[in-house]
Amino acid sequence: MRQSLEELIACHQKSLYTAAFSVCRNVDDANDVVQDTFIQYYTSKKQFRDKEHLKAWLLRVAINRARDISRSFWKRNRISIEECMEEIPFENQEEHDLLETVMKLPEKYREVIHLYYYEELSVKEISEILRITEGSVKMRLSRGRKFLRDVVKEEES
């Protein structure tokens, strides 16, 4: 099955944007990733089993693209995550602190944490999107959580 671009944008833009942001940590790059992902869909002849399969594919494409951008040598005049966070209108300090802490995680933990906490995907689904074993997903989730706890403890002390 295929879906029209209009439907895809309505259903998945936010998911792709937040996934890309969690990897790139940059607003402009995240927007570029989303557009590139929809272009890749539009130019691909790929057929999908169902909506879940399509969403998983879009997330994989977006995360891979976000990795490419964040590792690219040619970087634009990006604003840092710290500067960006000063402008985001968080509703409370907790939101600010949560994002700040998550953004300190190494990239491979951020990806897994995001798919688990934001997309509410299972370990199996995450392993398929990232093409890693379920054991690796569990390990990254566990280490990511431990890292978050350590950061919080460190800041409290």
Give residues in contact with other proteins (CB under 8 A). 1-7, 9, 13-14, 17-18, 21-22, 27, 30-31, 34-35, 38-39, 42-49, 53, 57, 84, 87-91, 94-95, 98-99, 102, 114, 117-118, 120, 145, 148-149, 152
Cα–Cα distance measured from residue 42 to residue 27, given in angstroms and rounded to the nearest whole number: 23
Closest to other proteins by CB, 21 vs 109, is 21
Closest to other proteins by CB, 139 vs 148, is 148
Closest to other proteins by CB, 88 vs 133, is 88
Instruction: Write out 87-106 in H/E/C secondary structure.
Output: HCCCCCHHHHHHHHHHHCCC
HSE-up of residue 153 (Cα within 13 Å, Cβ side): 6
Report, in Å, the least distance between residue 136 CB and other proteins: 19
Report, in Å, the least distance between residue 106 CB and other proteins: 17
Report, in Å, the least distance between residue 57 CB and other proteins: 7
Report, in Å, the least distance between residue 75 CB and other proteins: 18
Cα–Cα distance measured from residue 147 to residue 153, given in angstroms and rounded to the nearest whole number: 10
Closest to other proteins by CB, 19 vs 73, is 19
Inter-residue contact 54 to 16 (CB < 8 Å) = no
Cα–Cα distance measured from residue 143 to residue 100, given in angstroms and rounded to the nearest whole number: 17
Return the sign of the alpha-carbon dihedral for residues 67, 69, 72, 78.
negative
**What are the structure tokens assigned to 111, written together?**
């990806």
